[in-house]
């Protein structure tokens, strides 16, 4: 028989015997066979700036990233759209370069206005990246096609009406059509 304190009641005048039941609940406030957990250290504090505020871009663990609170300046998204339209326009490199330069100008104006108003210009940085890539591709295409050997070869191929005349153009301009290690198929 058990007392309310976790010991068994003695029979016929014997002393109380402790409960030897391994499945019995541990005494109140402790767990059997375990040490108490050490205290947890305080979480690390985010680095702060000179004025005691959190450093830029860090709001501490678990806190959401701070978004700019200024106005949204228009001009970045149209610049990105113009830069993306300039990509397929590279089929005619002159038009592609003109559109890409326009996208670069719009993006630069949008970024300048966003800085002036302490706001954001969504899409402006992407427009700068895409526009500068399109400008570099278009200018390199224009320079390559403007080389004298490439121009003469292209004119010869355009005027050739038969396969034999095209083969003659290939033989005549074989040395001139690869100034940068490009094969003739790349200039056709």
155-174, pLDDT tens digit by residue? Answer: 888 888 898 988 888 888 77
The answer on pLDDT for 135 being more than 90 is yes
- Higher per-residue confidence, 154 vs 142: 142
Q: What is the mean pLDDT of the chain?
A: 76
Residue 155 has what pLDDT? 83
CA proximity to 137, closest of 94, 104, 79, 102: 94
The pTM for the full model equals: 0.51
Residue 31 has what pLDDT? 60
DSSP H helical segments within the chain, as ranges?
76-86, 93-117, 124-146, 148-159, 163-172, 184-187
Residue 89 CA to residue 131 CA, distance in Å, equals 12
List all residues 6 or more positions away from 77 whose beta carbon is below 8 Å from its beta carbon: 122, 123
At 82-121, the pLDDT tens digits run: 999 999 988 888 999 999 999 999 999 999 999 999 899 9
Answer positive or negative: Cα dihedral of 132, 135, 140, 143: negative
Residue 170 has what pLDDT? 83
Bridge partner list, 18 = 7
The answer on pLDDT for 154 being more than 60 is yes
């Amino acid at each position: 028989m058990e007392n309310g304190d976790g010991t068994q009641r003695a029979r016929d005048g014997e002393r109380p015997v402790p409960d030897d039941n391994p499945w019995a609940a541990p005494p109140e406030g402790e767990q059997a066979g375990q040490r108490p957990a050490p205290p947890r250290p305080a979480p690390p504090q985010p680095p702060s700036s000179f004025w005691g505020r959190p450093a830029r871009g860090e709001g501490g663990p678990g806190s959401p990233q701070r978004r700019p609170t200024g106005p949204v300046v228009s001009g970045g998204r149209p610049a990105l759209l113009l830069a993306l339209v300039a990509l397929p326009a590279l089929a005619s490199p002159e038009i592609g370069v003109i559109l890409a330069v326009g996208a670069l100008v719009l993006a630069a104006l949008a970024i300048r206005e966003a800085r002036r108003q302490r706001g954001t210009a969504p899409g402006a940085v992407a427009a700068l990246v895409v526009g500068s890539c399109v400008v570099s591709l278009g200018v390199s295409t224009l320079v390559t096609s403007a080389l004298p050997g490439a121009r003469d070869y292209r004119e010869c191929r355009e005027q050739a009406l038969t396969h034999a005349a095209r083969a003659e153009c290939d033989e005549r301009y074989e040395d001139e059509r690869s100034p940068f290690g490009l094969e003739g198929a790349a200039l056709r």
